[in-house]
């Protein structure tokens, strides 16, 4: 690295709502590391030029969010196996050899969040049920496959997207019609909502949890609100519930470590800082 102050940031559009600057700048301050993390609203047409310029300005890496997560893969020189598997990157590293390295830590963040929020969680204890088949579901499914979940049940409003994931990730996945989504919860030991249902400003979560066992761990990738209707209903059934905020915090940790040389801790204080409370 040069003697420039190390910079990192997040690229996307829109970007004003991103919690990542608050999170990374808190960690920089907490660990006394000189550096800054900035939000950058970048158009698709400027993406290639921007990525070329950034290392010259002192950037050591950036996070990537909507709408660039898939596009950046084609611009990277080296793509990690997990980013290739998911088909998207959320973390870029400007390496000292001049190469652009693309990684995806979403699945890692997802799993770490459950491990921290539901101590003793055994991913291989039984079937996992996944609601939704969008970009977030890809990362969730890839990580479930990686950590040895033997049966993954998948349901999505648009069934064709779930069928694509089954074709890609193989026979561990069984696809259920959206009208049958409630049925796939029977016997599941992990249940994940990866849809936008229940998110502030989006449609309500209306899937019946009648078949859900109290032994299941339920987690939502939605974190606004923190306590979604899905998690409230699962909690009322006796399930252990894990909200989605921790996924955001944990996915950020490997990038911060690669860029700034220190593994940050994800704790209650980190949650409070990001929530602004």
Q: Which residues bind ligand ATR (CB under 6 A)?
A: 132-137, 156-158, 161, 194-197, 203
Please compute Rg for the chain using Cα positions. Answer: 19
Residues that constitute the known binding site: 18-20, 65, 81, 90, 106, 132-136, 156-161, 221, 223, 244, 251
Work out how close the CB of 138 gets to ligand ATR at its nearest, in angstroms, rounded to a whole number: 8
Least CB distance to ligand ATR at residue 229 (A) = 13
Instruction: Name which of 110 and 256 has its Cβ closer to ligand ATR.
Output: 110
Choice between 67 and 238, CB closer to ligand ATR: 67
Give the nearest distance from C-beta 2 to ligand ATR in angstroms: 35
Residue number of the CB atom closest to ligand ATR: 134
CB–CB of 142/82 below 8 Å?
A: yes
Residue 17, classified by CB atoms within 10 Å of its CB into exposed (0-12), middle (13-18) or buried (19+), is exposed
Annotated binding site for shikimate: 18-20, 65, 90, 106, 223, 251
Question: Could you please report the per-residue DSSP string of the chain?
Answer: --SSPPEEEEEESS-TT-SHHHHHHHHHHHTT---EEEEEE--GGGHHHHHHHHHHHTEEEEEE-TTSTTHHHHH-SEE-HHHHHHT--SEEEE-TTS-EEEE--HHHHHHHHHHHHSTT--TTSS-EEEE--SHHHHHHHHHHHHTT---EEEE-SSHHHHHHHHHHH-TTEEEE-GGGGGGGGTT-SEEEE-SSTTSTTSPPP----TT--TT-EEEES--SSSS-HHHHHHHHTT-EEE-THHHHHHHHHHHHHHHHS------HHHHHHHHT-
Both tokens of residue 157?
């409003």
Q: How far is the CB of 248 from ligand ATR (least distance, A)?
A: 12
Residue 69 annotated among the catalytic residues of the structure: yes
| Nearest Cα to Cα of residue 54 among 71, 70, 69, 75 | 75
Binding positions for NADP(+): 81, 132-136, 156-161, 221, 244
Nearer to ligand ATR among residue 138 and residue 258 (C-beta): 138
Please tell me which residue in 48, 69, 229, 237 is annotated as part of the active site.
69
Of residues 60 and 103, the one with the C-beta less far from ligand ATR:
103
CB of 32 to ligand ATR, least distance (A): 35
Taking the complex as a whole, how short is the minimal distance between the CB of residue 17 and ligand ATR, in angstroms? Answer: 14
CA 16 from centroid of its chain's CA atoms: 19
Nearer to ligand ATR, 204 or 268 (CB): 204
Whichever of 71 and 196 has its CB closer to ligand ATR, that residue is 196
What residues act catalytically?
69
């Amino acid at each position: 690295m040069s003697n420039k102050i190390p910079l990192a940031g997040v690229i996307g559009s829109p970007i004003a709502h991103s919690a990542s600057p608050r999170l990374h700048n808190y960690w920089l301050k907490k660990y006394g590391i000189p550096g800054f993390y900035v939000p950058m609203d970048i158009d698709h047409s400027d993406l290639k030029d921007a990525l070329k310029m950034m290392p010259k300005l002192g950037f050591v890496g950036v996070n990537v969010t909507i709408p660039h997560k898939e596009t950046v893969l084609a611009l990277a020189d080296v793509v990690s196996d997990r980013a290739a598997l998911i088909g998207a990157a959320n973390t870029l590293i400007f390496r000292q050899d001049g190469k652009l390295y693309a990684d995806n830590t979403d699945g890692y963040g997802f799993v770490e969040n459950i491990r921290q929020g539901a101590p003793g969680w055994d991913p291989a204890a039984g079937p996992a049920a996944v609601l939704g088949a969008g970009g977030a579901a890809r990362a969730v499914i890839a990580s479930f496959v990686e950590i040895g979940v033997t049966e993954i049940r998948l349901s999505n409003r648009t069934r064709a997207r779930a069928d694509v994931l089954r074709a890609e990730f193989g026979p561990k996945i069984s696809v259920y019609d959206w009208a049958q989504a409630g049925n796939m919860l029977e016997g599941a030991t992990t249940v994940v909502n990866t849809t936008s249902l229940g998110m502030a400003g989006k449609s309500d979560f209306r899937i019946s949890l009648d078949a859900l066992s109290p032994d299941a761990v339920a987690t939502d990738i939605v974190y606004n609100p923190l306590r979604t209707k899905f998690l409230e209903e699962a909690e009322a059934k006796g399930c252990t519930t894990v909200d989605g905020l921790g996924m955001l915090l944990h996915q950020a940790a490997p990038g911060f470590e690669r860029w700034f040389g220190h593994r940050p801790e994800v704790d209650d204080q980190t949650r409070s800082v990001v929530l602004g409370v």
